[in-house]
Each structure stands twice: as structure tokens, then as C-alpha cells.
């Protein structure tokens, strides 16, 4: 995949572009991508995704502490899987946010990106204070010679699929519903760090994961997950929480990998976990024995869910 930045402008080819933050790469985004590929083939243009880093809301509304469904690396990997061989990553700055809608079109879409076709979602806004809309873009398209195609929303259970809705769904622990909107299972990728070793003492050794601070963590509880390690896939029990039985103060994300060779050293390795099903909420147990019994039941249920 070729990744372009402003140093590569103007691009050396005419393009059909779709532009947005594209956090999560969900089914709504995929509808835009399909239309972009269709138009690019019809018109003999290069299909191109234009996205931003950091997410625009992190610059415009930094106080909201937005958590992301995909890091930039994850987003680029997913875009490549969608079939894009070229992506433009625009650094989103306060200066870029202040460019007027008209100037953004003239400078970026026309001069820099050589857009001959632009594919947008139903709620697309651009330019200073988000004053640019579909009507303005179509008018400017007539002026500068590019086609504008607006793609209608994609819905699930009468709700428009959006990154915001998926974030809200994951915060409730509804990972199955989130997976339907994403078109794939939600994932976390983290490095294995040293923990307290408590899981091993209980008979269920766990890998403690360090997750990038910008990533959205689903609701606290136990989940059935797939764990990817060295191109292998293992069933796993993932716990997100504060381990109330032991009165811990810091959130931990730890996974017990079923069917893993007990001698394998996971420390410092990167693991990808794929959420499949919410099993239960976090609970404080009255004894260690009760906790061990519950973990054993969780693992049995997770094995049935995944295998």
C-alpha cells in the first residue's frame, strides 16, 4: 500500500476519492468504498481514500477525550483489506480546521488530490466550522469539474450505523451487536506486560495486555475472545476490570488462553484479541474458591461458544 502525505502533493494521477475520519471501518464506510471503486472503474480513475490523523474531533474538541475504534495502523491495515492500494493521510491541525470550505475544495480536492469524482456520506461536512455540505460540494464540483456522489446511510435495526453508535454499543458490552455494525469482530491489540501472577496461582494463567491509551475498551466484564499469536488462533477468556475480589484500583485487561502450551513465554509479545461474546459482568466473590469455580465455569461456557 502506498501512503501519501502533503509532501507528495500534487498527486501524479486523477482520482476518485472518498474522504473522512473512517474510525472503525464499519459497514457504512464500506458502502462508500464500494461506490468509490465502482466510479473509479467506470471513469478510469485511481480509487483513493483520504483520511486524517489525528481524528479531527481530537483537535476540534480535545476536552471530550475521544476513544478510537481503530488506531491509524489498524485503519490502514483494514483499508488495505478493503482493496485500496493508495491512501492519503492528512495531518489534522487547527490550521487545517480553519480553512474555508471553498478553499479546501480548491486547494486540496482539486489542486493536490486531482479529484474527478468525490464520494461522500449523507452527513458529510467540511471546512471551517463544518460549513461545507453536500449542496456546496456539488456546486463546486460543477465549477471545478468533479462529480459528487452521496451515499445513503446503512442501517441496523432502524438505526444508522456510525462510529459514535458503535462506541456507545461497546461501552455497554454489546460486542455482538457492534460486530454486526462493523462487519467483523471488534479487536484490541496489546503488548503482554508483567502482572501480579495471580491467575497462575489460581490455575488460570493470564497475559496482561497493555492497550494503546487512545483505544476504546469495552465494558467491564468477562468475554469470549479469539486470541491471535504467531499466526495461530486460540480460544480465550478475557477479563476487563478492577478484580474487585482483590480490591485492585487500576483497570486491567487480561486474557487466559485456552489450549496454550503452558511453557510458552508471552512476555513482551503482541497479542490480538477478537471479541465474540459477552459472558458476564464483573463480580466480587466471597472467597478464592468461589472465584476459581466461577472462572472454571466461564471457561467451559467460552469453549462451547467458540468451539
Catalytic annotation, residues: 254
**171-195 burial by CB neighbour count: b if 16+ within 10 A, else e?**
eebbbebbbbbbbbbbbbbbbbeeb
Shortest CA distance to 10 belongs to which of 96, 130, 141, 106?
Answer: 106
C-alpha cell at 241: 476490570
DSSP-assigned states of every residue in 144-184: HT-EEEEEPPPEETTEE--HHHHHHHHHTT-HHHHHHHHTS
Find, among 10, 71, 78, the residue nearest to 49 by Cα.
78
User: What are 5's three cell numbers?
Assistant: 502525505
What's the length of the chain? 307
Q: Contact, 24 vs 67, CB < 8 A? A: no
CB-CB neighbours of 28 under 10 Å = 27
Amino acid at each position: 500500500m502506498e501512503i501519501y502525505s502533503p509532501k507528495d502533493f500534487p498527486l501524479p494521477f486523477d482520482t476518485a476519492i472518498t474522504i473522512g475520519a473512517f474510525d472503525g471501518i464499519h459497514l457504512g464506510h464500506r458502502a462508500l468504498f464500494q461506490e468509490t471503486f465502482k466510479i473509479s472503474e467506470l471513469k478510469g480513475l485511481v480509487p483513493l481514500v483520504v483520511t486524517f490523523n489525528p481524528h479531527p474531533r481530537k483537535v476540534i474538541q480535545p476536552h471530550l477525550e475521544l476513544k478510537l475504534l481503530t488506531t491509524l495502523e489498524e485503519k490502514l491495515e483494514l483499508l488495505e483489506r478493503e482493496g485500496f492500494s493508495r491512501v492519503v493521510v492528512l495531518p489534522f491541525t487547527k490550521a487545517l480546521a480553519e480553512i474555508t470550505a471553498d478553499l479546501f475544495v480548491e486547494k486540496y480536492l482539486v489542486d493536490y488530490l486531482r479529484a474527478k469524482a468525490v464520494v461522500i456520506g449523507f452527513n458529510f461536512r467540511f471546512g471551517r466550522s463544518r460549513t461545507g455540505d453536500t449542496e456546496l460540494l456539488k456546486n463546486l464540483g460543477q465549477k471545478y469539474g468533479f462529480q459528487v456522489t452521496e451515499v445513503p446511510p446503512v442501517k441496523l435495526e432502524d438505526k444508522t450505523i456510525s462510529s459514535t453508535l458503535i462506541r456507545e454499543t461497546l461501552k455497554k458490552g454489546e460486542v455482538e451487536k457492534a460486530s454486526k455494525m462493523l462487519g467483523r469482530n471488534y479487536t484490541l491489540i496489546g503488548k503482554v506486560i508483567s502482572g501480579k501472577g495471580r491467575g497462575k496461582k489460581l490455575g488460570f494463567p493470564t497475559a496482561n495486555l497493555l492497550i494503546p491509551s487512545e483505544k476504546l475498551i469495552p465494558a467491564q466484564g468477562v468475554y469470549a475472545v479469539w486470541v491471535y499469536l504467531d499466526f495461530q488462533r486460540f480460544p480465550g477468556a478475557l477479563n476487563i476490570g478492577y478484580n474487585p475480589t482483590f480490591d485492585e484500583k487500576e483497570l486491567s485487561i487480561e486474557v487466559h488462553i485456552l489450549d496454550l502450551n503452558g511453557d510458552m513465554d508471552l512476555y513482551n509479545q503482541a497479542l490480538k484479541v477478537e471479541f465474540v461474546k459477552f459472558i458476564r459482568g464483573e463480580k466480587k466473590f466471597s472467597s478464592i474458591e468461589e472465584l476459581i469455580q466461577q472462572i472454571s465455569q466461564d471457561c467451559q461456557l467460552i469453549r462451547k461458544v467458540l468451539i
